[in-house]
């Protein structure tokens, strides 16, 4: 469960202050499917980064599963990211010199998991995204859709409770994009909280809720049912 109360995020650019987020209050229950929409510069990516503990709010409160995480030090934020959060990016962010299998294993390697368990989980995660036969391929030997599926396997392999996707279809053709959304929705169906940042209204419409941001403020909140 994610709770934001009066969240603000300011950036200093030169001698100006950019208010990327202003007074954002929001509750995302476990297992929700939320689309963050809005024009460029509306603050939706900033919000996603704060939700993913990559960035810290300037003010306000962020509680994740009842724990205030907005002001945690860097090391503890990293631990929260490792255990609870999976990221999917527009440009996949696969490590080019590692195979699909090794890319999926990477978060487990970073967490210091034993090799046997790593292998078992990696095999399962690749199977879940339908890429068992591509395990030994490097990213440059995979199509865009396949790369994103590897990234989704990597994002879910640690068993997080939240999956954050930043324009996951932004760099894919329609058919592949559709497949990726369906895959993400399947993960959501399995109980994962899914937050998708998107420009694409077609993608946004599929979410259970849509949150529209304009100039760092919530313009319309579909609310939880």
Partner 1 sequence: MSLGDLMAFAWRALRGHRLRTILTLLGMSIGVGAVVLLTALGEGARGYVTNEFMALGSNLLIVLPGKTETTGNAPILGGTIRPMTLEDCEAIQRRVPRVRRLAPLSVGSARVGYGERRREVTVLGSTPELLPVRHLEIAVGRFLPDVDLDRGAPVAVIGRTVQEELFGGANPLGQPIRIGDWRFRVVGVMAAKGQSLGLNMDDVVIVPVTSSMRLFNQPSLFRILIEVGAHSEIDQARREVLGVLRERHEGEEDVTVLTQDSVLGAFDRILGALTLALAGIAAISLSVAGIGIMNVMLVSVSERTPEVGLLKALGAPPRQILKVFLVEAVMLSAAGGLLGLLIGYLGSSILSRAFPALPAHPPAWAVSAAVIVSLLAGGLFGVLPARRAARLDPVLALAGR
Kindly list the residues in this chain that would bind partner 1 in the complex (CB under 8 A): 49, 52, 54-55, 74-75, 78-79, 81-83, 87, 89, 93, 95-98, 106-107, 109-112, 154, 158
How many CA atoms within 13 Å lie on the side-chain side of 198? 26
Q: Shortest approach of partner 1 to residue 28 CB, angstroms? A: 19
Q: Shortest approach of partner 1 to residue 211 CB, angstroms? A: 20
Q: Shortest approach of partner 1 to residue 117 CB, angstroms? A: 13
Give the nearer residue to partner 1 in terms of CB position, either 27 or 82: 82
Give the nearer residue to partner 1 in terms of CB position, either 83 or 174: 83
Give the nearer residue to partner 1 in terms of CB position, either 49 or 149: 49
Q: Shortest approach of partner 1 to residue 47 CB, angstroms? A: 12
Give the nearer residue to partner 1 in terms of CB position, either 157 or 210: 157
Q: Shortest approach of partner 1 to residue 74 CB, angstroms? A: 6
């Amino acid at each position: 469960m994610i709770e934001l109360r009066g969240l603000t995020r300011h950036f200093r650019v030169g001698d100006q202050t950019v208010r990327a987020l202003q007074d954002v209050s929001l509750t995302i229950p476990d297992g929700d499917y939320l689309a963050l929409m809005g024009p460029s510069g509306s603050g939706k990516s900033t919000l996603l980064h704060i939700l993913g503990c990559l960035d810290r709010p300037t003010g306000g409160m962020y509680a994740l599963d009842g724990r205030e995480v907005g002001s945690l030090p860097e090391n503890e934020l990293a631990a929260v990211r490792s255990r609870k959060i999976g990221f999917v990016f527009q440009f996949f962010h696969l490590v080019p010199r590692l195979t699909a299998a090794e890319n999926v294993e990477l978060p487990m390697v970073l967490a210091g998991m034993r090799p046997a368990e790593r292998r078992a989980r990696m095999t399962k995660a690749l199977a879940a995204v339908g890429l068992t036969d591509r395990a030994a391929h490097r990213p440059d030997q995979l199509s865009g859709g396949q790369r994103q599926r590897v990234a989704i396997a990597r994002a879910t392999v640690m068993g997080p409770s939240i999956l954050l996707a930043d324009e996951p279809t932004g760099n894919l053709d329609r058919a592949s994009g559709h497949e990726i959304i369906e895959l993400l929705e399947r993960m959501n169906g399995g109980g994962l909280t899914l937050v998708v940042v998107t420009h694409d209204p077609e993608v946004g419409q599929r979410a259970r809720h849509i949150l529209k941001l304009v100039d760092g403020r919530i313009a319309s909140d579909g609310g939880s049912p």
